[in-house]
A and B are shown apart, each in its own frame.
Chain A
């Protein structure tokens, strides 16, 4: 982690986003969703803070090319 406390959107924000995107989720699922976002946040925050390699990993197409014969 980067040393500072990470924050994730509150449950109302998540519920509103889910509704805007066309998903029907009840209160329990909103809570679960927030818990899951919170649980993955340290790894995601590490990734956001990590610089990309300088040799082209920015284009995810490299990931598809790796598995081409």
Chain B
């Protein structure tokens, strides 16, 4: 069930949190056996919380997410539980406190039931040495994507209605795309990162992976807003997602260029279908291009890896115990000259101005979330129109723009490719206009059922 469906079922008395959490734990066990999606199961804690939630539903004091189970990517702290970061090197001591995002969800009644698989430090390869690859519920010979890999697999496998991930170059949106989920990378700073192991302070956000835009809107409403600790997190205006199904007046730009020059025909067909549905609901297509988008990926990575190398210098004498992919990726940041790093930050401003020019005439930008369906294991290659490409040459071409500029992006499933795996489009909005993307996605999902399609292995 989705978050919305589960809350409706509780309200109707069709089930209760004790039964739902028990069911989720059973499903999670099955999913983990098939997919390797879980690092730790929080069963005792979850069952105790479920009892409390059941009491609250019974006595009329249920909170907004009362009794909804969820997963937590294992770079995000849950108090009293180790945060391994997918690594041999950190986190075997219990976290002293929960991350702000976990605390907010628990305060709203939601129940964490698992720490989910992550690539090492949220930057390593598909095969983290400590825990291994997470398989994709749509095709176990493929990767679930990353870095929020276990979170995506658990939600797609119908073990939990939603999970938390982090996104530095697409790590919420890419696994969402490859697992048929709706995933939000919010505006930089909209959701506090306190209690999240950092990778890149300029580009990193926390975000939810769920099965509908409606659920994501509900979760984002709980997660957003300052916590007084994350210096990039400030007071926000209210989140007001329009309730109408009429998109009249909504202007969407559908840029080409770097966003579509490497894009499988099935992915492009999904983008086109989404645009057609939005237009049928009243939206208007307007011109809009981002001329420098092609440099967002290499320059974005330059910022990410320089900041990551800085953060990991404290462990520089034990990089030989890291996932070699982590070292291969972040080591280039060691030798980035300061003048290039700072020029990259200036480029960030230039890209923001290019987006401002687009958003002067458009409310949303629609692009592919990624060029292909899910990467194949064990090598992690992707296939675009029959040709193989290395994972990192392809995966973040459309997502890094949001990390580099800070603009929000919502990955939305748009159907299945001929290989039977999901494809996805991304709705990019101006900063702090997540409501516009959530509105358009909700209307699209009212008119289609791609988001309700489940992997053959999920029951």
Contact = CB atoms under 8 A, between A and B. Distances in A.
Interface of A: 9, 14, 17-18, 21-26, 29, 32-33, 36-37, 39-40, 43-44, 46-48, 52-53, 57-58, 60, 62-64, 66-69
A69 B302 CA distance: 27
Interface in B380-424: 405-407
B298 to A, nearest CB: 4
B245 interface: no
Nearest to B348: A63
Contacts of B347: 47
Nearest to B325: A32
B346 A58 contact: yes
B327 interface: yes
Label chain A's interface by main secondary structure: helix
B350 A21 contact: no
A63 B343 contact: no
Contacts of A69: 234-237, 431-432
A29 B319 CA distance: 10
B277 interface: no
Nearest to B404: A63
In this complex, the member of A17, A24, A66 whose beta carbon has the largest number of chain B beta carbons within 10 angstroms is A66
B328 A23 contact: no
29 contacts: A21-B313, A23-B309, A23-B319, A24-B319, A24-B320, A25-B319, A25-B327, A25-B334, A29-B331, A33-B331, A36-B328, A37-B332, A37-B335, A40-B302, A43-B299, A47-B295, A47-B343, A47-B347, A48-B340, A52-B346, A52-B350, A53-B350, A57-B350, A63-B346, A63-B352, A63-B406, A66-B349, A67-B187, A69-B431
Interface of B: 187-189, 202, 232, 234-237, 295, 298-299, 301-302, 309, 313, 316-317, 319-320, 327-329, 331-332, 334-335, 340, 342-350, 352-353, 405-407, 431-432
